Structure formats: structure tokens, C-alpha cells
Structure 1
Amino acid sequence: MPFPDSADVGGELTVGGAASPFSAVYVAPAEESSPAEIEQVLVHELVHAAQFQQRVPQQVRTEIPDDHRSTRDAELVITSMLEGGAVYGSSVYTERHGLAIDPEIEVLERLYPNASAGTKLVWGPYYYGGQYIDSVAADPDDHWKVYEEPPVTMRQVLHGEGEPVLEPFEATLTSEDDNGSWEEIRQETMGEFVVRLVLETQLSTETSTDAASGWAYDRQLRVASDDESPDGHVWSVRFEDSANASTYATALASYLDARADSSEGTVSTVDDSNVSAADSNDSDVSNTTWYADEYAFTTATPDERTVALVGGPEAFVEAASVEATADGDPDMETETNTNIRLSVTDTRDENATQSVTAPGLSLGAVAGSVSASGVAAP
């Protein structure tokens, strides 16, 4: 496993390792590393070498639907299958050969729950991927079948669900602003795992897990302006039903309360340990703006299943509005397969308006301690 924050390892994980698609395997032990630790990491990397020989990364990627394949969530799925398979293989090897060390999957089960959010982002594919493959594979030889029909979302990896839940949004940027004050920089789909981790930077694991469950899809979008700094962000998360969306909305308000230095407007939150769908249905987080560092934040509910978080410079947040649309019609009567449109009206020019469909939020704006760049293929 990669070396995370030193405070999260408790003196364990002293051996580093890597494998390349060209069948090269590297092991980097420390002076205090035991032979059993070195052997376990070697086995982990040899599993990767076998995965590359069998073209597992390509096989898993091919099974992910085209409109989801290039997302961050999909990359996490691919990494989870690769690292989960290696964790599973090394753990079985450790037990069968009686190595004087705990199996890798047990080490993760011991360390992961108390790790920082940044470490959890890196370890997540190992932890949840290993659990997923352990739950569906009868033995090491049989585990190769997992790659033939792999999960396609991190929601499946987290919950062991067979059928994916995918409701992709369309994402377009249209501008009626001749001055071009806001421009799309990047858009992404993060998935349930990242939604959970962002909340967990401020809330308990139980609350964050409950709030992120029911995820159906999300889109994040980053926009920039030559006249404003920092960039503007919107993260729209759609859930299976209104109850799950309400639970998330209340947890999101609690998250913003914990993260913000100040706020204006109506703030309605509940005890972190008791956020539930039943409690959150009565929440009122509209007309609230939170302030943290150089960012302002607000929330919106463009339809009963979608919650949007808007963040950026105060001028952007004040000018932004989010609505659900069907085929470009803001007066649609159903939210099924609808898009989410962000309209930004430049307050310096009342005639300047831009629209963005299916927006989202960058991790850097929401939780600086969680870095998406920490996720990489083995």
C-alpha cells in the first residue's frame, strides 16, 4: 500500500512496492522491515504483474459504460479492482503460508476506520476493493471471474450491489455574456465514495455514510473569470429519492457550519450523531450563505432528488442560480433524466448571463485536506 500520513500507520507498513505493465516488480523495505513484511508486499506486487499480463485494467475499463468511463468515479473503480485483487491475493497467501504478519486485509480493517480523510482517499480502493473481491470470490483462482463482470461505480464497490445506478447528466456551457466573464474549466463525476469522504472531513463516519447513501449520480463543474478569484464551483448530487436527498441536504448544512468561519441567513442543522432521513425532511437550509477563508458557499435544491452546493468568490455565489431542466425547458414537470443548469448573472452588468448544465464542485474548494490527485493506478 502507498505510504499515507505517518500518524495513520501506527508504525506498520514499512515496505513499499510497485509493479509496472512491463512485468517489472519493485520492493522497497526499510531497515526494520521483517522478512514476512517483504514477502507479503512482493506477493501483492506479483498479483499486479499477473493482472497486467491478463489485461485486467483494460478489461475492467471496457465494462464501464461509455458515458461514465472517463470519470473520477470510474478511475476509482478500476483502481479498486486492481488493488482489491492484490490485497485479496496477498491476504490469502499470508494465511495459507503462515507468515508471521497479519493479512493485508486485516491491517486495513484495523487502520482504515481511524485514518484521516486524505489517507482514506488513497486507501479506499485497497480497503473497499479488497472487501468486495473477498465477498464475491470463492478462491484465488476464481477471483479472476470478478474482472469479467466488475462493478462500474464506487457505489457498487461500497455496497456490493450487482446492478449499477447511473443517471448521467448532460453537461453543456452556453453563454449570453459578450464579455465572457465566466468560462468552464473542468467538469467531473466524483461518485458516492468521494461524496462521503468530503463530508467526513467535518462530520462523523456514520453521518457521512448515511448522507451519501442513495447516490444516483453527480456532476461537478469549475468555472473561472479573469475578474474574480478564486474560481467558482458547483457540485450537484442526485439521489434515488427525496428522503435520501433531504438527509444529504441536512448533513451538508452541518458540514458547512463546521467548516465555515461565519454565515448569514437561515441555518438549520441537527446533531451530527442523529442526522437521518426522518429528521432531515424538516430542515431548512435555503437562503443561507457560509463564509470560509476566501470562499462563500450556498446550497440549492433544483428538484426533490438533487442537492447542489455552490462555492467560490462571494460575487459568484450571489450571482449563481441552479435549476433543473428537461431538454432545455426550465418548466419541466418531472426530474427523471433531467439536467441541472447553473445560471450566473454578472451583477456588474445586468445584461450579462451565462448558463452551465450539470455543474459540480472541486474537492479543493470543499475540503483542502482531501486531494483527488492522490488517487492513481498502481
Structure 2
Amino acid sequence: MTSFIPPPSLLYDMTDRRLLAVVAVLSLVLAGCSAPAAPVGQSDVAGTASSDADVSAGSDAQDESADSDASGSDGSDSDASGSDAAESDPDPDTAERSLSFDPDPVWERVTTLMASDAEQPPLTVGVPGATAGQAFAPDRSTFKQALNASAAASASDASGPRGVTTPFGVYVEPGGGPPVVVEQVLAHEYAHAVQYADSMFAPWLTEPVRSTDQQMTQTALIEGGATYVGDVYTERYLSDVPLQSEQMRRSYERAAAGDRFFVAPYYFGAEYVDRRLDSPADLQSVYDNPAYNTAELLHGEGAGEQLPMSIAVDTSDGDWTATSRDKKGELYTRIALRATLDGDAAATAAAGWGNDSAISFDHDGGDPDAFVWALRWDTATDADEFVAAFERSLDRRTDDWADRTRVEYLSDRTVTVVMGPDAFREGTTITGTAGDLSIDVDAAADSGWFQRDAASTLSSAAPPAAS
């Protein structure tokens, strides 16, 4: 069972007595599900670091899975969350602990806001050690490194209240935070518990995650829903505590490049849900008609209509193997550009995304050594804006990958980014027009690497239907 669990929840600035950040988390594990079922939500706060959660769990559309020692993604494969976390003996350090306030009124308020008669779940004060170990380990992928977008602060730099919700119970770690902040985290987690109890997203969440873009969309809908409920709860019942959505915004703006991938689903998910709803009682409608991808999440219904993209890959004449492919999406593209550019420039350059496919290659059976990222754009102007921004980003970078990257047009609306050693870039030929591409990799003569009798051919049809 695949589960991805987020990092620490909050950072409190005792100097100006202002709450800078709150993080609450959802660990989605569906009991008895045989396929990878769902991304886990994560959030961060004003400059607090969190781990990376770039995910792809489908069999035919994966993120750079060779980078991960987990379940075909660079997330974490947690054996301690979900049923294991709920059914194992409690941590000795947390078994006798309690909150400084009564949690029952919090549950009653949340269920009233959400118009739910769900039964209150078990509450454990303290996050199980094994779960925490999976949750707070930093994680970086080679693809993010190639884009110079992997930098992330250590999870040990953050502290404070945090929470995890599974279908079997809620876990909250006060972390020495003020009771009002712990209550806000608990309200967020209780919102997740209602999502579970009322089966709000089961029909589409049980399908295999096919791409990073789909994972980020689902996580944003799930975490955005709980953050929206937390905002309404905060407005009605708490004082002198910033809204969770505002905390996510601050965190996103101040976070390291790699941490933005972690925070973004909370921030943009909350914005999306807030645009859709007038009341937490209507949250189910978000999951009955969910956003198709991150472009639609960012811009509204219809904005994420994808352009056709078919890619054939041939490595039969070289010593490279195509190992995986993934669709990154508009939000991922924006965050990657944001590592070097300001927020407005990154958003403008990523807007107009029509489709993409990132294909990973390796030459020795290990981690990916090279990538081809093909992107289609709604208009030629959108493509021009992306190329200009990407080239400007490369000019500002000083990392090794910057010198191993080339970006070029295949057509006026299709752009390719090739990243890897000189032999790979020089030996890779990309032909075709618009969304029908052929990638031929023949770098054996100049690579100096051991020649293998290996051939791989990957072809990609149009994107899967919306879940």
C-alpha cells in the first residue's frame, strides 16, 4: 500500500508573537486496496521546510521512478501509516499524553460546519514514531535536480504542532505550540476524518494515480477541502490566528524551491475550493465534479483541456534505456521555473500549458541520467513565453545541470527540453510536428559506457480520461 506522509506542521515566531505557519497532514490509505490509491496531502508554513512529494504511481506514466527507493515515485512507501499505524501498539512516548483542551467540541463544530453526522474517530495525542519517520524525511528527485528545483530545508529545522489522519483515526502532536494553534490543526484533521467517513472522494481516489499532475490535483482537492474547512472554523471559533490558507500562501512564497512542491497543493487547493464553495456543507460537490488537472485547478473549469500528445522512443541503437514517463502539469512547471524566476514570471511562463511528457533515461540500470521533457502549448505565444523564461532561468543558474540542458522548438507550439550528458544530448534526435513526436537516442559511439544489447520503445497515447 502506497502512502505519502508530510512533514512538520508549524513554526511559531515568539519574537513578534505571530503565527508564521501551520501544517496539517493527511495520510490517505484505503484498507484492502491493491493498487496505489492516493497521494498524501502535505502542507508547510511561512518559510518552514517540508519534504518533497513528487509522485507518480501509475504503471505507464511515472515520475522518475528510478530515483526512488519506494513505490515508483520519489515519495515514501509507508508501512506504518494507515492500518499499521492504527493497529500497532501506541508509542510509549505518546500513550499517556492528552491535549490541553477538550477535543469533543472541536469535532462537534467541524461536523456542524460540514453538515455531517459522522461518528467521532479515535484521537491519539502524538504521531507514531514509524509514521513520523516516514513523514519527515526529505526527498529529492533527479528530475527536480536537473531543473535546479530540488532544494529543500531539513525537516529537523521545523517543529511544532502536526497531525496525521488515516481511515482509522486521527493523530495530533502538540509540539509545544499554543493551544489555539493545536486546535486549528485538529480542526483540519477532523475535516479529513469527515472526508473519510462520508466517502467524499472514494470513486475517483481509488483509481491508480497516473502522473505527477494527477497526484498534485488530487492532493490539492483533498487538502484544499480540509484547509477551507479550517479557514471557516478559524473565522468562527478562533481569534488571533491567521487563516490556514494565508499560512500556506506565506509558506509557498518563502519556501525553498523543492519545498514549494510540498506546500502548493495546500495553497492552490484552498484557493480552488474557496472559489467553488460558499459553505463547508457543500464540500461534496467539489469531489463530485473535481478539477481534471492542475491547469484547471489554477484557472477554472475548461482551462485544463489537454492537447493530444503521442511520443515514440527508440533506444535500440544506443546504450540508453527509457525507464519511465510522466506528465508534470502546469503547476509543476510553474514551481520549477519559480526556483529561479519571480512568482509572476513563473506563472506567466507556465500558463497556456496544453500537455507534457517527461521521459527518463538511464545507461547502467541505476537512477536516471538524462531526460527529455516535451511540452505542448495552447498558442505560439505561450510557447514563446515558456522558452524565453526557461532560457532566462538557465542563464541565471550555476548548477552542473544548467550546462547539460538544451531547449528548442519542435513546432511553433511544441517545445522540447533535453537534459543529460553531452553524449546523450548530441546523440538524441527529436522529430515530428505538434503532438506527434519521435525520439531517437543513439549515443553509444561517444558515450564511453558499456554497450548493452537493449532496446526500449515507449509510446504514449492521448492522456487518460479525467478521474
TM-score (norm 2): 0.60
- Is contact 2:319–2:442 with CA below 8 Å preserved after alignment? no
User: Which stretch of the first structure deviates more once superposed, 48-57 or 219-228?
Assistant: 219-228
Aligned equivalent of 1:345: 442
Aligned equivalent of 1:297: 405
Secondary structure in 1 matching 2:270: helix
In structure 1, runs of 5+ residues without a counterpart are: 262-291, 326-334, 360-378
What do residues 276-323 of structure 1 show as CA deviations (whole Å, max 9, x unaligned)?
A: xxxxxxxxxxxxxxxx25961112211111111101111101111212
| Cα deviation, residue 152, structure 1 | 1.1
Amino acid in structure 1 at the alignment position of 2:411: D
Provide the C-alpha distance between the structure 2 equivalents of 1:170 and 1:25, rounded to a whole number of angstroms: 44
Structure 1 residues 155, 126: CA separation in 2 closer, same or farther (over 3 Å shift)?
A: same
- Is contact 2:45–2:251 with CA below 8 Å preserved after alignment? no
Aligned match for 1:51, one of 195, 199, 216 = 195
Structure 1 residues 5, 70: CA separation in 2 closer, same or farther (over 3 Å shift)?
A: closer
| Cα deviation, residue 248, structure 1 | 0.5
Aligned match for 2:364, one of 210, 226, 234 = 226
| Cα deviation, residue 21, structure 1 | 1.9
Provide the C-alpha distance between the structure 2 equivalents of 1:196 and 1:43, rounded to a whole number of angstroms: 30
Secondary structure in 1 matching 2:369: strand
Secondary structure in 1 matching 2:241: coil
Amino acid in structure 2 at the alignment position of 1:199: L
Structure 1 residues 99, 6: CA separation in 2 closer, same or farther (over 3 Å shift)?
A: closer
Aligned match for 1:132, one of 247, 262, 272 = 272
What do residues 161-208 of structure 1 show as CA deviations (whole Å, max 9, x unaligned)?
A: 34531224234434442xx51111110001001111111111111111
Provide the C-alpha distance between the structure 1 equivalents of 2:385 and 2:418, rounded to a whole number of angstroms: 18
Secondary structure in 2 matching 1:70: coil
Secondary structure in 2 matching 1:56: coil
Provide the C-alpha distance between the structure 2 equivalents of 1:343 and 1:157, rounded to a whole number of angstroms: 34
Aligned equivalent of 1:319: 427
Provide the C-alpha distance between the structure 1 equivalents of 2:410 and 2:335, rounded to a whole number of angstroms: 23
Structure 1 residues 250, 39: CA separation in 2 closer, same or farther (over 3 Å shift)?
A: same
Report whether the alignment pairs 1:195 with 2:234: no
Secondary structure in 1 matching 2:371: strand
Structure 1 residues 181, 50: CA separation in 2 closer, same or farther (over 3 Å shift)?
A: same
| Cα deviation, residue 113, structure 1 | 2.0
Report whether the alignment pairs 1:123 with 2:263: yes
Aligned equivalent of 2:166: 20
Secondary structure in 2 matching 1:341: strand
Structure 1 residues 204, 19: CA separation in 2 closer, same or farther (over 3 Å shift)?
A: same
1:1-378 equivalent positions in 2, closer than 5 A: 2-3=7-8, 8-9=47-48, 14-22=160-168, 24-31=169-176, 33-61=177-205, 70-162=210-302, 164-177=304-317, 181-226=319-364, 231-260=369-398, 292=400, 296-325=404-433, 335=434, 338-346=435-443, 348=445
- Is contact 1:221–1:358 with CA below 8 Å preserved after alignment? no
Secondary structure in 2 matching 1:348: helix
Query: Share of identical aligned residues, percent?
Result: 30
In structure 2, runs of 5+ residues without a counterpart are: 1-5, 9-42, 50-156, 447-452, 462-467
TM-score (norm 1): 0.74
Aligned equivalent of 1:366: none
Amino acid in structure 1 at the alignment position of 2:225: G
- Is contact 1:300–1:322 with CA below 8 Å preserved after alignment? no
Secondary structure in 1 matching 2:175: coil
Higher strand fraction: Structure 1 or Structure 2? Answer: 1
- Please report the RMSD computed on the Cα atoms of aligned residues, expressed in angstroms: 3.1
- Is contact 2:401–2:420 with CA below 8 Å preserved after alignment? no
Aligned equivalent of 2:20: none
